[in-house]
Amino acid sequence: MKDTVFILNTTRNSTVEFAASELAGYLERGGITACQVEKTFSEEFLSMIRLGFMPASEGEDREMEDAYTIDITDLHGIIKGTNARSILSGCYRFLREIGYAFLRPDLAGERIPGEIRPHEIHVSEKAAYKYRGICIEGAVSFENIIRMVRWMPKAGFNTYFTQFLTPYEFFKTWYEHQYNPDYGDDSVPEPKDVDRFVEEILVPEMKKRGILWQAAGHGFQTETFGMRGLGWDVQEDVSGLRTEWMAEIGGIRGLFHGIPMNTNLCYSKQEVRLAFAGHVAAYCRKHPGLDLLHVWLADDGNNSCECEECKKKLPSDWYIELLNSIDSELTKEKIAVKIVFLAYFDLLWPPKKEVLHNPDRFVFMFAPITRSYRKALMVSGEDKDLHYERNKNQFPASAQENMQYAQAWKEYFKKDSFIYDYHYMWNHFQDWGDYYSAKVLYEDIAVLKKNGFDGYVSCQQTRVFAPSGFGMYVMGRCLWGCDKTFEELWDEYFTALYGDRSGQIKEYAKLLSEYSYWKQPEDDHMVQDARAAADLEKALNILEKYIPVFEEYEKASDSADQTRWKYLLYSSKAAWHYCIMLKYKREGKDKKAVEAYRIMKEFLREKESKWQEGMDLYWFIKKYDSLLL
C-alpha cells in the first residue's frame, strides 16, 4: 500500500472542499501524505480517493436525505454522497472504518491510529432518519458550542437548533457563574454579542459542514406584546407592554406568574395573529440562511387564554390559524423557509376544526416534556380518551400515553415530523453510570420509524460527556442507522475509550446505574424508602471500591486522553456525594441530607474547571436546590 494519496474533488462545492481537507488532515495525522487536487491524473501511478455526488434517484429529496457510498481499497477508490453533507459524512465513516474514532467534542476524544493498515472498504448506506439533531441547552460557553458543532457530523448528526430568537439565556447562565461565583471573573456577554457569535461564527461553521440550521421557538409571542424573549426571568413591570393582547386567565390579562416567556396571547384576535406573523417574517428577512424556523407559543402549560372567543376552539385550532397567517405572510414575501410547529403542553390535543392551508411548508415536532424515561416509547399509545379541559389539564407521564397524543397528531398531519425529546436534559443527573438512561434512548430511537417519525432532535444540556459520553455515542450512531445491539455498542464504545481497562469500567458503570438510578423510585422528590436506601448502600460500596482505582488511573496516565480519566474520577466522586445525600433522604434524615448536599455543592464548585464539559453544575444545582432547600 502506498503511503501517499491524492484526494480529488471536482465539485466546486465549499462543503466538499472542506470534506477533502478534513480527510487529508486526518490521514496525515495517521502517517499518510495526503494531497488535495482538482484535476485527475493517471490512476495507474497514484493512489487516489475521488469525492463526488451520487446519481439522483427519482423522487429523492437530495438536500434532506443523506446517503453515501464508499468503495476504497488501500487508499484508492471513491466516496460519493447524495449531497455535500453526505460526502463529508462518508469521509468520517471511511476514517472510522480504518481505525479512527470521534468519541467526544474535545480533541483528546479523538482516536488516531498509529498506522494505516491495508484495507478494503465497501459501504453503501442511507441515514435511517432525516432529522438527526441537537438543540442548545444548559449553561454554555462559546467554545462549548463550537466544539459541539464541529463534532456533530463526525458522530452522525446533521442539524443544530439555536433555540430562541437570540439564544442568550444559555450563554448568560454560564458566564454569570450564578452557582459558582469563585469560578472566574468572566465578562457576561450582552444579547448583541450572542447574535454576532451566532451569525458571524457559529452559522458559518455549520454551513461549512452542511449542518441544517434550526432557530427560534419561544419568543415570538413576547415580541408581539412588546419585549424581547431572552429567558425565563420574572418581570414585574408591565408598563409599555400590550397587556390587552395577553391571554386572559382568571379574568386578568397579564404576565403568567410574572414570566414573559410563559405568557400566551389572545390568539382569537386577528390583529394579534397578524402582528405575530409580522415578527416571524422580520426574523426570516434578517436570517436568510435559515433551514428550519421553529414557531412555538409560550412555554409552560395550563396558560391558554380563557376569553369567550378563545374558549370556542382548542388552543391548537388557534395555533393552526396563526400558522396559516404566518404562511400567508411568508408566501407574500417569497420566503421559502420550512416552519416547525409542535405539540407540547396545551398543544398536545390536536385541532378539531382548523387545517393547514399549505402543509408542504411545515414540519411537525412532538415534544413529550412530561414523559417518564423508565420505559421506552411504544409503537402505539394507550387507548385513553384525550379529554381537554382548559387550564386544568394533567399532562401525560407514561411513554405509552404520550404516544397516543403523538399518534393523534400524526393522523392530523402526515408530512415530515420528528420527536423533540429530553433524555439528557435533567434525567441523567440521577443516572451516574449512564447505562440504563442510554438503553432507554437506544430503544426509543429504534421505534421512531415504526411510529411514523422522520427523526429526533435532542433538547439537552451541552456538557454531558461524563462519566463517559456513551449516551451521545448511542444517539449519533442510532440516528444514522445501526444494526448493532445495545450491548455491542456498549462494548464497542468502552473498548475505544478505555482500551484494556474497559471491562472493569463497564462493570462499574452498569452496577452504579442499576443501584443509584434504575432500582430507585422514579419520583424526583426523593421520598423515604428503606429498600431504595439499601440499594444506595450497594452503590456506595461500588464507589468506594472503584474511586481509588480511578485515582490511580488519573495519576498514572500519560496518554493523550487524560480527560477520560478526569471525567470518570470526578463523576464517581460526585456520585458518592449524591448517593450519600439521597440515602439520607430515603432514610427520612432530611437535615443530614441537606448537609450532605451542601458538601456536594462545595465539591462540584471546587472541581468544575477540571471537567467543565463533563457536567453542567448550573443545572444540577438549579434542580436540586428546588428539591432540597
The segments of the chain whose pLDDT lies below 50 read none
Backbone region of residue 173 per phi and psi (left: phi > 0; alpha: psi in -120 to 50; beta: other values): alpha
Q: What is the dihedral of CA 576, 441, 563, 509, to 10 degrees?
A: 40
Backbone region of residue 78 per phi and psi (left: phi > 0; alpha: psi in -120 to 50; beta: other values): beta
Q: Which three cell numbers stand for residue 199?
A: 451569525
Q: Which three cell numbers stand for residue 147?
A: 466544539
- Measured in whole angstroms, how far is the alpha carbon of residue 257 from the centre of its chain? 28
Find the largest Cα–Cα distance for the chain.
Answer: 82
What span, in angstroms and rounded, lies between the C-alpha atoms of 619 and 37?
48
- Give phi and psi for 374, each to the nearest 5: -95, -20
pLDDT in tens, 388-411: 999 999 999 988 899 999 999 999
Q: Which three cell numbers stand for residue 508?
A: 462499574
What span, in angstroms and rounded, lies between the C-alpha atoms of 131 and 591?
47
For residue 382, the model assigns a pLDDT of 62
For residue 41, the model assigns a pLDDT of 74
What span, in angstroms and rounded, lies between the C-alpha atoms of 527 and 513?
19
Measured between alpha carbons, how far is residue 104 from residues 93, 135, 260, 500 in Å?
16, 17, 36, 19
Q: Which three cell numbers stand for residue 431?
A: 443516572
What residue spans of 413-469 are helical by DSSP H?
Answer: 436-446
What is the rounded end-to-end Cα distance, in angstroms, of the chain? 65
Measured between alpha carbons, how far is residue 351 from residues 314, 315, 359, 409, 412 in Å?
6, 8, 14, 8, 8
What span, in angstroms and rounded, lies between the C-alpha atoms of 587 and 332?
64
Note every long-range contact of 184-189, with CB atoms under 8 Å and residues 24 or more positions apart, other chains counting. none
For residue 342, the model assigns a pLDDT of 98
pLDDT in tens, 159-199: 999 999 999 999 999 999 999 999 988 999 999 999 999 99
Peptide bond into 260 cis (omega under 30): no
**Alpha-carbon torsion 603, 605, 609, 611, what sign?**
positive
3-class secondary-structure state, position 273 = helix
Note every long-range contact of 489-494, with CB atoms under 8 Å and residues 24 or more positions apart, other chains counting. 489/442, 490/435, 493/103, 493/468, 494/468, 494/470
For residue 61, the model assigns a pLDDT of 81
- The mean of the pLDDT values for the chain is 96
Note every long-range contact of 171-176, with CB atoms under 8 Å and residues 24 or more positions apart, other chains counting. 171/140, 171/141, 171/142, 171/197, 172/230, 172/231, 173/138, 173/139, 173/618, 174/139, 174/140, 174/141, 174/144, 174/618, 175/141
Q: What percent of the chain clears pLDDT 70, i.e. is strictly above it?
A: 99
For residue 607, the model assigns a pLDDT of 97
For residue 557, the model assigns a pLDDT of 73
For residue 58, the model assigns a pLDDT of 62
pLDDT in tens, 230-284: 999 999 899 999 999 999 999 999 999 999 999 999 999 999 999 999 999 999 9
